[in-house]
């Protein structure tokens, strides 16, 4: 997989892309991630990538020219399966969408700023819009990182134990069961006995039951979906 991220503040992306699972995936060439500075594509002599909104109102809007030029030059080099714009006025990202995206080859992510981006960019260039939640951040860099991390951890060979991603919350529509590690007794608090019993079938059933119980309590919306599906 190759991911091109276009940003007017590329410095924001440096740390998160270089460490932990994403950093290791890049080093071992499981994913190629290239960050592009939008300002290097503007023809404005002051390096501006924004302007006042037509019709008035507060805030600035990202102009089409640098974005069209940057994406145009990337598309000359290779074809892209998706051009993604993270934005709060879009459907909220979920695990099923992430699973599908992780199977793609080449992806562009465009980070917005200010009031957002000129609608013509969205109409002409963007193929997928996703929100990371019903709240507003200052820029698209954190949402882009969330997208990248959620996709990259699913790529073959990235997680030490491939099974690990499969029993995470949301993969089967449920929240995950609680997890414990050593010591079995800590400050008088015991790990549930079934987890140290060595009985794999009992452990599986316990996890299934806890996953259902936690989903019902914490996310009744997800629980209802599961119940409706199985009826």
- Give the interface with ligand SAM as residue ranges (CB under 6 A): 86-89, 111-113, 115-116, 131-133, 135-140, 143
User: What's the closest the beta carbon of residue 123 comes to ligand SAM, in angstroms?
Assistant: 15
- Give the burial string for 26-50 (b: 16+ CB within 10 Å, else e): beeebbebebbbbbebbeeeeeebb
User: Looking at beta carbons only, is 41 or 113 nearer to ligand SAM?
Assistant: 113
Side by side, which strands form the sheet with 2-7?
A: 32-37, 2-7, 106-110, 82-86, 128-130
**Cα–chain center distance at 63:** 25
User: Looking at beta carbons only, is 139 or 173 nearer to ligand SAM?
Assistant: 139
User: What's the closest the beta carbon of residue 125 comes to ligand SAM, in angstroms?
Assistant: 14
What backbone torsions phi and psi does residue 35 show, to the nearest 5 degrees?
-100, 135
User: What's the closest the beta carbon of residue 225 comes to ligand SAM, in angstroms?
Assistant: 22
Whole-angstrom CA distances from 17 to 26, 148, 161, 164, 207 are: 8, 9, 21, 21, 33
Closest CB to ligand SAM: residue number: 112
User: What's the closest the beta carbon of residue 146 comes to ligand SAM, in angstroms?
Assistant: 8
User: Looking at beta carbons only, is 67 or 177 nearer to ligand SAM?
Assistant: 67
User: Looking at beta carbons only, is 2 or 115 nearer to ligand SAM?
Assistant: 115
User: What's the closest the beta carbon of residue 116 comes to ligand SAM, in angstroms?
Assistant: 4
User: Looking at beta carbons only, is 134 or 161 nearer to ligand SAM?
Assistant: 134
Element (H, E) at 31: none
Rounded to whole angstroms, the Cα distance separating 94 from 81 reads 19
């Amino acid at each position: 997989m190759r991911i091109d991220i276009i940003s007017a503040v590329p410095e924001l992306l440096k740390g998160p892309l270089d460490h932990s699972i994403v950093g290791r995936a890049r080093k071992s060439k499981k994913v190629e991630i290239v960050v592009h500075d939008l300002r290097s594509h503007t023809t404005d002599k002051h390096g501006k990538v924004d302007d006042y909104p037509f019709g008035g109102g507060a805030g600035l809007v990202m102009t089409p020219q640098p974005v069209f030029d940057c994406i145009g030059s990337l598309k000359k080099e290779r074809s892209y399966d998706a051009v993604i714009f993270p934005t709060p006025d879009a459907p909220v990202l979920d695990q099923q969408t992430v699973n599908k995206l992780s199977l793609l080859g080449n992806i562009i992510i465009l980070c917005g700023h200010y009031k957002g981006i000129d609608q013509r960019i969205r109409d002409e260039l963007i193929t997928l819009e996703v929100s990371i939640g019903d709240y507003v951040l200052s820029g698209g860099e954190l949402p882009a990182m969330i997208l990248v991390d959620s996709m990259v951890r699913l790529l073959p060979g990235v997680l030490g134990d491939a099974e690990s991603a499969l029993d995470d919350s949301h993969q089967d529509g449920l929240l995950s069961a609680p997890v414990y590690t050593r010591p079995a007794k800590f400050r008088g608090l015991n790990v549930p006995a079934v987890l140290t019993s060595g009985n794999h079938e009992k452990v599986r059933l316990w996890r299934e039951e806890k996953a259902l119980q936690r989903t019902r309590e914490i996310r009744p919306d997800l629980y209802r979906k599961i119940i409706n599906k199985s009826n």
